[in-house]
Structure 1
Amino acid sequence: MERPELPWMATGDGLVLRIRLTPKSSRDAVEGIEDTAEGAAIRARVRAVPSDGEANAALTKLIASWLGVPKSSISLVSGGKSRIKSVAVRGQTLALMRDVAARLGH
């Protein structure tokens, strides 16, 4: 099976982002793209601890802020207890793809 080169995939109603999350960090930030065993992933850090969904909630808030979209348009698709997560962003697919690519320097 071939590993994806981009950390996002277009869907009918937006994008799904592959994210490698580091909880308990000194800051909340999206830091670029890194290569993982599953393929390319967006590297993100949050200050929240990985307990009771706190880090996942912080990630949702971070991605919404980073993309300038409402928090309600972000949802965790998979990876609730894993460092590698799939996060859905609902919105105009083409505009989101351009925005994510530009923010990541792609």
Structure 2
Amino acid sequence: MATLSVKVVPGASRSAVVGWLGEALKVRVAAPPERGKANAAVLALLAEALDVPERAVALVAGPASPRKTIRVEGLSDAEARRRLS
């Protein structure tokens, strides 16, 4: 099981995985930061980028913060980092 520290920028012009900022992964999403829309967009974007089903990606901490902790089932930390690089 991989655990990712993610820095989220909601309301961007387009959704994208930007890259690594130290130990945190920077992610931009077009969804607004209201009623969980940005969180759902982050989970969907990471599932696609990691090539895992959406149900394997879960928000563990930081639902109302730009800094989030995401858990990915079925991947090691090293494999998740390799797929995102």
TM-score between both structures, scaled by the size of structure 1: 0.75
Q: Are 1:32 and 2:19 matched, yes or no?
A: yes
Q: Percent identity?
A: 34
**SS of corresponding position for 2:55:** helix
Q: Are 1:22 and 2:9 matched, yes or no?
A: yes
1:34-73 equivalence runs, <5 A: 34-35=21-22, 40-73=23-56
- Segments of 5+ residues of structure 2 without an aligned counterpart are none
- Segments of 5+ residues of structure 1 without an aligned counterpart are 1-13
Identify the residue that residue 60 of structure 2 maps to in structure 1: 77
CA deviation string 1:8-33 (max 9, x = no partner): xxxxxx11100000000011110111
- How far residue 81 of structure 1 moved from its aligned partner, in angstroms, is 0.3
Using the alignment, how far apart are the partners of 1:21 and 1:102 within structure 2? 18
Identify the residue that residue 70 of structure 2 maps to in structure 1: 87
Q: Which runs of 4+ in 1 moved over 3 A?
A: none
CA contact (8 A) 2:2 2:80 kept: no
How many residue pairs were aligned? 85
Q: Which has the higher contact order (CA 8 A, sep 6+)?
A: 2
Identify the residue that residue 11 of structure 1 maps to in structure 2: none
Please tell me whether Structure 1 or Structure 2 has the larger radius of gyration of its CA atoms.
1
Using the alignment, how far apart are the partners of 2:45 and 2:21 within structure 1? 18
